[in-house]
C-alpha cells in the first residue's frame, strides 16, 4: 500500500548520513512510497520546511559528508507545545512514518513526539560519539575514528621531531568510544576517557610516572595523550598547567574539534548507513514503532527507542584491555 514517509537528520551531523538518505530514497522508490525530507532537523518539522526526495538526488550522494537535509538542535521541539505543533504538521502533511537519523537527544525528541502523534516512528543511529545502546556502531563513528587517527599520526611527526608532549582532545560528548579507538589506532601513549576517570590526581600521578619512567629508560621522547572532551576540568589548558606544576613542561595542546565530524564517510560507515537506511524503510507499515534500527554482529536489529538511552553503553572490554596493557607494559 502506498505510504507517505518523512525523514530528517538531527543533532550533530555525522559522515554517512547522506549514504543513509540515499538508501532510504532508493528503498522508498522500490516500494512505491513517497518520501519527504524535512530540513534543519526538527526545525523543519515545526516550520514545515520540506523537500521531496526524488531518485535523482541519490547520484553521487553516498560519498558526501555532512547532510543534504542540514541539521540542527531544536530547543522548542522539546516542549509539549513544540511536539504538539510538530504532530499537527505531520497530520497536515499526511505522513504515515517519520524516520529520524540522529543521536540520543534526537531519539528522546522522537519519543516525546509519539505522545502527541500516532504515526510510526523509526530512529536510525547517526552520531560520531557511538554512545547509543542497542547497536554496535552508529553512522559516522568509523569515519571520525579515522579522522582522529590520521590527525594524531600527523601530531606524532612533529611531537617526535621536538620530543614533545602533546595533549590531543577528541570529541565524544560524555563517552570515550572515539577517544579510546583513536588512541589505540594511532598508538597513543596514554588515553583519558570518562568511563575510567577517577580523579585528576589519580590520572596525573599515572601520567607523570609513565613519562618519567620512559625518560629514564630512553632519554628525551615524544608522548601523546589522547583526552576525551569534557573530562578534564578546564580542558587541555587545565591539564597542561597541572603537568607544569608536576615539573613536566613544553606541553602542546591540540583540539581536533569539528574536523572529526566532516569528510567523506569510510566504507564501514557507508555500509552501516546503507544497511540501516534500507532496513528502516523495510519496516514502514509494520507494527514496529518507537524503535531504533541498529546493527549487532553485522545483523540488523530492532530496539525500543527508550532502550537506546536508558543504560550507558559500555566500552569494548577487549579494547580496554589492549589499551591498558599497551600503556603499561613498557613501564
Is 269 catalytic? The answer is: no
Is 18 in contact with 67 (CB distance < 8 Å)? yes
Helices vs. strands in the chain: H and E counts, helices first? 11, 11
Considering beta carbons, is residue 12 or 65 the nearer one to ligand F6P? 12
Check 13, 104, 129, 146 and give the catalytic one. Answer: 129
Shortest Å distance, C-beta 69 to ligand F6P: 16
Could you say which of 171, 183, 281, 291 contacts ligand F6P (CB under 6 A)?
171
Shortest Å distance, C-beta 144 to ligand F6P: 8
Nearest to 139 by CA among 169, 100, 173, 193: 100
- HSE-CB at 255 with a 13 A cutoff on CA atoms is 10
Is 28 in contact with 120 (CB distance < 8 Å)? no
Scan residues 99-128 and list those touching ligand F6P (CB under 6 A).
103, 127-128
Shortest Å distance, C-beta 298 to ligand F6P: 24
Is 24 in contact with 55 (CB distance < 8 Å)? no
Interaction pattern, residues 252-281, with ligand F6P; x per rule: CB under 6 A: ---------x--------------------
Considering beta carbons, is residue 15 or 103 the nearer one to ligand F6P? 103
Residue of this chain nearest to ligand F6P (CB atom): 12
Shortest Å distance, C-beta 230 to ligand F6P: 7
Separation between Cα atoms, residue 287 and residue 97, nearest integer Å: 11
Separation between Cα atoms, residue 150 and residue 66, nearest integer Å: 19
Is 97 in contact with 145 (CB distance < 8 Å)? no
Considering beta carbons, is residue 194 or 304 the nearer one to ligand F6P? 194
Could you say which of 173, 212, 214, 252 contacts ligand F6P (CB under 6 A)?
173
Shortest Å distance, C-beta 21 to ligand F6P: 18
Considering beta carbons, is residue 73 or 108 the nearer one to ligand F6P? 73
Could you say which of 43, 129, 179, 232 contacts ligand F6P (CB under 6 A)?
129
Please say whether the dihedral angle defined by the alpha carbons of residues 80, 280, 147 and 317, taken in this order, is positive or negative. positive
Considering beta carbons, is residue 261 or 270 the nearer one to ligand F6P? 261
* Neighbouring C-beta atoms of residue 1, cutoff 10 Å: 8
17-31 and 267-282 helices, crossing angle to 10°: 30
Q: Kindly list the residues in this chain that would bind ligand F6P in the complex (CB under 6 A).
A: 12, 73, 103, 127-129, 171-173, 229, 261
**Active-site residue list:** 129
Amino acid at each position: 500500500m502506498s505510504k507517505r514517509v518523512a525523514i530528517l537528520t538531527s543533532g550533530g551531523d555525522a559522515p554517512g548520513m547522506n549514504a543513509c538518505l540515499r538508501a532510504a530514497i532508493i528503498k522508498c522508490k522500490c516500494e512505491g512510497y513517497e518520501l519527504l525530507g524535512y530540513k534543519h532537523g526538527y526545525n523543519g518539522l515545526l516550520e514545515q520546511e520540506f523537500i521531496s526526495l526524488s531518485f535523482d538526488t541519490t547520484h553521487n550522494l553516498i560519498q558526501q559528508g555532512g547532510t543534504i537535509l542540514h541539521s540542527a538542535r531544536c530547543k522548542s521541539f522539546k516542549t509539549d507545545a513544540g511536539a504538539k505543533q510538530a504532530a499537527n504538521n505531520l497530520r497536515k502533511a499526511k505522513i504515515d512514518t517519520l524516520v529520524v537519523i540522529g543521536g540520543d537527544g534526537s531519539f528522546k525528541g522522537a519519543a516525546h513526539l509519539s505522545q502527541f502523534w500516532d504515526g510510526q516512528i523509526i530512529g536510525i543511529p547517526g552520531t560520531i560519539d557511538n554512545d547509543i545502546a542497542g547497536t554496535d556502531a552508529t553512522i559516522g563513528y568509523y569515519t571520525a575514528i579515522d579522522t582522529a587517527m590520521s590527525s594524531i599520526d600527523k601530531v606524532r611527526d612533529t611531537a617526535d621531531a621536538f620530543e614533545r608532549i602533546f595533549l590531543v582532545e577528541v570529541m565524544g560528548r560524555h563517552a570515550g568510544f572515539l577517544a579510546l579507538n583513536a588512541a589505540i589506532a594511532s598508538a597513543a601513549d596514554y588515553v583519558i576517557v570518562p568511563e575510567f576517570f577517577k580523579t585528576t590526581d589519580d590520572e596525573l600521578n599515572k601520567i607523570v610516572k609513565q613519562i618519567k619512567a620512559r625518560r629514564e629508560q630512553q632519554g628525551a621522547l615524544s608522548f601523546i595523550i589522547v583526552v576525551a572532551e569534557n573530562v578534564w576540568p578546564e580542558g587541555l589548558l587545565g591539564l597542561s598547567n597541572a603537568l607544569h606544576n608536576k615539573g613536566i613542561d613544553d606541553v602542546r595542546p591540540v583540539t581536533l574539534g569539528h574536523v572529526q565530524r566532516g569528510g567523506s564517510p569510510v566504507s564501514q560507515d557507508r555500509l552501516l548507513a546503507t544497511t540501516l537506511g534500507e532496513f528502516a524503510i523495510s519496516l514502514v507499515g509494520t507494527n514496529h514503532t518507537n524503535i531504533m534500527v541498529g546493527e549487532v554482529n553485522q545483523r540488523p536489529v530492532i530496539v525500543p527507542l527508550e532502550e537506546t538511552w536508558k543504560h550507558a553503553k559500555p566500552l569494548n572490554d577487549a579494547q580496554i584491555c589492549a589499551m591498558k596493557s599497551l600503556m603499561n607494559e613498557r613501564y
